């Protein structure tokens, strides 16, 4: 309705900038530098929304008709966008920026022109770029005034970012500045900084060859940089009662400690403070000390200051003053929650979602035993309304769960002192955890008792964890007579409701560079590389003749069967920045679990894979597909030992970063790894791709910064439950069927 008014507005204001296009003559350079060149365009057209050109402009024009009303102001300011009128002076500024950018990449003489095309009221600007030949580094010279620094720098030339044959790249020069600065400051040169490193570039060698000179000058004509040692380290606790403890200082081998009444074992600080008197100053040791003190989580702030000693000696030195401000000893958080969870009714085989309320309280006692330990108690209680066929509607909330977890966190690797002292570039922890879960719903009553111990090695992007033992005992009983009768002839239900004992060990890692604010793209990988269960327990039972055999020939301990299995699972996510309003997110999840030994047929129910639902394949209800393409009436088993799942989602801003939209495609399934008599339920490399469930859809999200609420609508494209040849179902939809097959998923947070 507003489209016809845009030309009128253009005639009044000037021609709209409709589109920018960059054409780079060289194909290789086009792949490498298109996004970099695009960043220097100073004038951009009005934004699109869901493919609608100049949506904001149309809202702006609509608001102009009622300028003095609340609706008109919001249409112009909130939803609208002022018209972008073509300004040729900004084109020239853009070209100047493009030239500067290409110069930083080694292209000193690019040819850049532009052309303006289009109708009277809308124009397109085409930037035509020919980068020309890049300059390559043909010769490198080091001009370092201090011979000691010269010899030191040359020992690590193999790590230099300035290399023969590489293109002349200014970003590499900045990296080289930082590398040399870090190298020298790790070898005692306290007064050195990266500004003392400079470069000379000579492009007069011909044939697009260049000479790069790396210069490090002395601080003054008759002075040289000196190496510094550490004279002393003082550690002081800051609190309100500090004035009462003026003489309260303790002398240790490496530092002087003034606790000011704070009850902390000094050995903890001795572990964390890696600085040592009479040792050479190293910035990496200083940074590692800061990280370790900060990671103790018992200090509100950690302030480290290194300053030159005023003593006139032949060997300059620095003195450290470390001030620590204690955090509150006791801390608590209360989280009221509105919750939703996947539901699979074992009686009817139907799937859906539960909705309910929950509350969680967490109590923390910091420095509980005066060794920087943290005791954390978490209690969560929830009630849900579980609905479905044959489920009474009274009471309304018919599902209940209570969860109590206790964690004791130690700021070191318990029982591994050698590794703890060796791994100075990481923060190390040990976690002892125990929990009890009581769950009651329309199908079962279940108690879970678990205890485990974990070592953690945490670095900036890469965290490793190793649990030498995790023990859990699960006791389940029926809460549904019909289900109890059905289970007598169903091996799957028998495996779900049997009491079981799991003893396992696990090793894995998490990689996450999302915290690096310099990166617009980020990657997240969580890989449980190996979870191995029951092996040591089975060895003990066989060696000492423990336990007894049940009717199936499996060994039981205290009347409970223990499980043996090996499992691996990886979850990889990649988030790509497209522009300030758009991101592309992808996920690949792959897992395999292999039962063996004392449980040759099944992995424990809690360790199996499931698919479908709000955070999985959204076009299918939770636990409604699989294993493979097996599907019969009354099939209750929708679990598997193999899982493959892939998701791609385009996320875009709709309104003021507050309302977001998404378009997505999900695909995946689960399979059994061993034959169990069910047709097409087992994973095979040559057929699994024919059994993938695929769905697509769109969603809308409310971004509250601290919370994201989303609603996704999706429908199936490929349904593996259908017979071969009929699985592609998108072409069978008419508008009515499309609506009937659309599934709405409500969730909190992004799905991945």
Q: Of 592, 600, 598, give the one whose Cα is nearest residue 644.
A: 592
Clarify whether residues 730 and 693 are in a common domain. yes
Q: pLDDT digits over 190-238, tens only?
A: 999 999 999 999 998 889 999 999 999 998 877 889 999 999 999 999 9
- Return the pLDDT at 374: 97
| Residues 432 and 468: beta-carbon distance below 8 Å | no
Mean pLDDT to the nearest integer, 742-752: 87
Residue 455: how many other CB atoms lie within 10 Å? 22
- Residues 41, 143, single domain; the answer is no
Residue where a domain terminates, one of 303, 326, 349:
326
Q: 275 and 185 in one domain?
A: no
What pLDDT is attached to residue 500? 84
Does the pLDDT value for residue 724 go beyond 70? yes
**For residues 442-451, average pLDDT:** 89
> Taking 60 as the threshold, does the pLDDT of residue 52 lie above it?
no
Angle of the 170-185 helix axis to the 147-154 helix axis, nearest 10: 110
- Name the band, by pLDDT with cuts 50, 70 and 90, for residue 247: low
Q: Based on the domain organization, do 144 and 259 belong to the same domain?
A: no
Domain that holds residue 203: 136-216
pLDDT tens across 390-445, in order?
677 778 888 889 999 999 999 999 999 999 888 888 889 999 999 999 999 888 89
pLDDT tens-digit series, residues 357-381: 889 999 999 999 999 999 999 999 9
Whether 620 and 712 map to the same domain: the answer is: yes
CATH number at residue 304: 3.10.20.310
Which percentage of the chain shows pLDDT scores above 90? 57
List pLDDT tens digits, range 281-313. 999 999 999 999 999 999 999 999 999 997 777
Residue 154: inside a domain: yes
Contacts of 475 (CB under 8 A, 6+ apart): 446, 447, 448, 499
Q: Which of 326, 348, 372 is the last residue of a domain?
A: 326
Q: Is residue 140 part of a domain?
A: yes
Predicted pLDDT at 72: 67
Please check whether residues 723 and 624 belong to one and the same domain: yes
In this structure, the answer to whether residues 180 and 116 fall within a common structural domain is no
Tell me if 275 is assigned to some domain: yes
Reply yes or no on whether the pLDDT at 36 is more than 60.
yes
- Tell me the mean pLDDT in the region 695-716: 90
Task: Note whether residue 398 is domain-resident.
Answer: no
How many residues would you count in the chain? 752
Q: Pick the range with the lowest mean pLDDT from 95-99, 338-342, 637-641.
A: 338-342
Give a yes or no: residue 516 inside a domain: no
Cα gap 431→428, rounded to integer Å: 10
By three-state DSSP, how is residue 653 classified?
Answer: strand
Given 326, 348, 368, which residue is the final one in a domain? 326
pLDDT band for position 1 (50/70/90)?
very low
What mean pLDDT do residues 52-60 have?
A: 63
Tokens standing for 735?
């508008």
Residue 602: its pLDDT value, please? 86
Q: Which CATH number covers residue 622?
A: 2.40.160.50
pLDDT greater than 90 at residue 118:
no
Q: Are residues 142 and 106 part of one domain?
A: no
Asked if residue 579 is part of any domain, the answer here is: no
Average model confidence (pLDDT) for the chain? 87
pLDDT above 70: residue 7: no
723-729: Cβ within 8 A, 24+ apart:
724/629, 724/690, 727/690
User: Per the omega criterion (within 30 degrees of 0), is the bond before 395 cis?
Assistant: yes
Q: How far apart are CA 354 and CA 391, in angstroms?
A: 13
User: Residue 521 domain-assigned?
Assistant: no
* Average pLDDT, integer, range 245-259: 82
Q: Which residue has the higher pLDDT, 615 or 50?
A: 615
Same domain, 174 and 124: no
Residue 350 belongs to some domain of the structure:
no
**Are residues 140 and 23 part of one domain?**
no
Comparison of pLDDT for 65 and 357, the residue scoring more: 357
pLDDT of 65 over the 80 cut:
no
In angstroms, the CA 627 to CA 303 distance is 56
The helix (H) or strand (E) run that includes residue 129 is: strand 122-130
pLDDT of residue 394: 74
10 pLDDT above the threshold of 60: no
CA pair distance 523, 584, nearest whole angstrom? 12
283 and 313 share a domain?
Answer: yes
**CA 632 distance to own-chain centroid:** 39
Do 260 and 161 belong together in one domain?
Answer: no
How many of the other CB atoms lie within 10 Å of CB of 187? 18
* Number of structural domains the chain divides into: 4
Give the predicted TM-score (pTM) of the model. 0.81
Q: Which residues contact 700 (CB under 8 A, 6 or more apart)?
A: 654, 659, 660, 661, 662, 710, 711
Q: 548-549 and 555-557 as β-strands: parallel, antiparallel, unpaired?
A: antiparallel
Within 13 Å, how many C-alpha atoms sit on residue 207's CB side?
A: 3
Give 486-540 pLDDT, tens digit per residue. Answer: 777 777 677 777 788 999 999 999 999 987 766 678 999 999 999 999 999 999 9
Tell me if the bond preceding 627 is cis, omega within 30° of 0: yes
More confident residue, 657 or 179: 179
């Amino acid at each position: 309705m507003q489209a016809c008014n845009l030309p009128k507005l253009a005639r009044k204001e000037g021609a709209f900038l409709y589109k920018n296009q960059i054409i780079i003559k060289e194909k290789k350079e086009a792949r490498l530098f298109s996004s970099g060149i695009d960043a220097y365009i100073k004038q951009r057209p009005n934004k699109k929304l869901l493919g609608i050109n100049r949506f904001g402009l149309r809202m702006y024009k609509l608001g102009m008709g009622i300028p003095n009303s609340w609706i008109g102001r919001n249409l112009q300011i909130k939803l609208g966008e002022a018209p972008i009128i073509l300004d040729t002076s900004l084109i020239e500024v853009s070209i100047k920026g493009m030239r500067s950018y290409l110069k930083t990449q080694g292209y000193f003489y690019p040819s850049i022109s532009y052309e303006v095309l289009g109708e009277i009221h809308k124009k397109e600007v085409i930037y035509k770029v020919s980068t020309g030949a890049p300059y390559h580094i043909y010769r490198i010279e080091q001009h370092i005034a201090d011979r000691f620094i010269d010899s030191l720098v040359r020992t690590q030339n193999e790590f230099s970012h300035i290399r023969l044959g590489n293109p002349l790249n200014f970003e590499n020069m900045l990296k080289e500045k930082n590398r040399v600065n870090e190298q020298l400051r790790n070898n005692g040169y306290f007064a050195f900084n990266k500004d003392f490193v400079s470069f000379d570039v000579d492009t007069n060698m011909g044939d697009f060859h260049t000479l790069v000179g790396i210069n490090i000058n002395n601080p003054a004509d008759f002075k040289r940089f000196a190496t510094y040692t550490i004279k002393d380290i003082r550690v002081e606790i800051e609190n309100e009662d500090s004035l009462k403890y003026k003489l309260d200082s303790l002398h240790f081998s490496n530092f002087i400690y003034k606790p000011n009444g704070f009850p902390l074992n000094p050995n903890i600080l001795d572990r964390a403070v890696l600085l040592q008197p009479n040792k050479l100053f190293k910035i990496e040791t200083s940074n590692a000390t800061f990280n370790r003190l900060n990671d103790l989580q018992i200090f509100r702030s950690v302030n480290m200051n290194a300053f030159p000693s005023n003593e006139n000696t032949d060997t300059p030195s620095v003195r450290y003053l470390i001030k620590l401000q204690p955090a509150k000893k006791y801390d608590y958080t209360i989280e009221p929650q509105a919750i939703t969870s996947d539901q699979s009714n074992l009686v009817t085989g139907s799937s859906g979602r539960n909705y309910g309320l929950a509350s969680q309280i967490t109590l923390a006692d910091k420095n509980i035993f005066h060794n920087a330990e943290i005791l954390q108690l978490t209690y969560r209680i929830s009630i849900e309304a579980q609905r479905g066929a044959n489920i009474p509607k009274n009471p309304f909330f018919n599902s209940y769960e209570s969860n109590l977890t206790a964690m004791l966190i130690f700021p070191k690797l318990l029982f591994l002192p050698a590794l703890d002292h060796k791994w100075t570039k990481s923060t190390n922890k040990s976690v002892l955890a125990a929990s009890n879960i009581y769950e009651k719903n329309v199908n079962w009553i279940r108690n879970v008792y678990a205890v485990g111990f974990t070592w953690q090695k945490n670095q900036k992007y890469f965290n490793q964890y190793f649990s030498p033992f995790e023990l859990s005992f699960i006791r389940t009983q029926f809460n549904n007579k019909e289900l109890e009768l059905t289970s007598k002839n169903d091996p799957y239900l028998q495996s779900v409701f049997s009491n079981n004992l799991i003893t396992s060990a696990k090793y894995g890692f998490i990689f996450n560079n999302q915290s690096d604010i310099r990166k617009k793209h980020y990657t997240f990988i969580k890989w449980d590389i190996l979870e191995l269960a029951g092996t040591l327990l089975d060895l003990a039972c066989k060696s000492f003749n423990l336990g007894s055999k049940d009717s199936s020939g499996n060994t039981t301990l205290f009347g409970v069967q223990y499980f043996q299995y090996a499992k691996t699972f990886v979850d990889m996510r990649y988030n790509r920045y497209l522009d300030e309003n758009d991101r592309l997110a992808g996920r690949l999840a792959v897992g395999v679990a292999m039962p063996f030994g004392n449980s040759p047929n099944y992995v424990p129910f809690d360790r199996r894979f499931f698919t479908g639902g709000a955070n999985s394949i959204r076009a299918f209800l939770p636990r409604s597909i699989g294993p493979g393409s097996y599907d019969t009436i009354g099939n209750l088993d929708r679990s598997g030992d193999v899982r493959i799942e892939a998701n791609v989602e385009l996320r875009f801003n709709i309104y003021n970063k507050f309302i977001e939209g998404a378009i997505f495609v999900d695909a995946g399934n689960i399979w059994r790894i061993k034959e169990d008599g069910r047709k097409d339920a087992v994973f095979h490399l040559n057929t699994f791709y024919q059994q993938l469930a695929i769905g697509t859809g769109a969603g809308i999200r409310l971004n509250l910064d601290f919370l994201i609420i989303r609603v996704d609508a999706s429908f199936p494209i490929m349904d593996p439950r259908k017979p071969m040849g009929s699985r592609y179902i998108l072409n069978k939809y008419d508008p009515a069927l499309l609506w009937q097959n659309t599934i709405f998923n409500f969730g909190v947070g992004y799905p991945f």
